[in-house]
Structure 1
Amino acid sequence: MKDVSQYTPWIVAIGALSLLIIWLFVRGARRRAAKATRVVTRMGGNFGRALVATVVIGGMQWLVLAHTTDPRTWAAVLGFPALFAAAQLVRMFASTHEVAAKSKGGHR
């Protein structure tokens, strides 16, 4: 087994690259939300983006976990994506819109 300190520059580089990708993704999402003029109805596009994100995140996790045994590194590599996933789930299930009540006549 090789010394963990040998992989430290690579782990730092992967971490910095991950933060850059997340920052670019959030920045792009904010811009798209601000300029949104239509609703995306194609689930195929969303599924493709989700699949690519899953492969990138899973690949980076596998790469880091395969080359280190430090529990702090494992916690960071597994914890940050879990934190973002949990935040997204909380936003998804926290309903902030009001449902319009039906009028007495039965028409909207």
Structure 2
Amino acid sequence: MEILAALGGLFALVMVWRTSARATRRAAEGAKAGVRLMSLAGRVIATAAAIVGVQWIVIAHPGNTTLLLAVLGVPALFASYTLTKALTVTTTDVPQQRKGRR
């Protein structure tokens, strides 16, 4: 009887361990998606700050119309690219399955 109780306890311990490992894996995958989003948001903010800085310098020191148009036009292209990339979903996070499972 004690052997059966020990085997039952061991079985329960293994099941709890497997369940916690799956939950940990799901939490890690969710965290990866959140970090990816925050990294992209940081790049968007840094790019916007650089654009605003360059535009501010050129607008504060007027004189060359071509330079002014370039400073306003070229960053608009970068901003549109960055915004398009930020708002477009390019990957899907599919959980990896172990080999042998169907």
> What's the TM-score once normalised by structure 2's chain length?
0.46
> Larger RCO: Structure 1 or Structure 2 (Cα < 8 Å, ≥ 6 residues apart)?
1
Larger Rg: 2
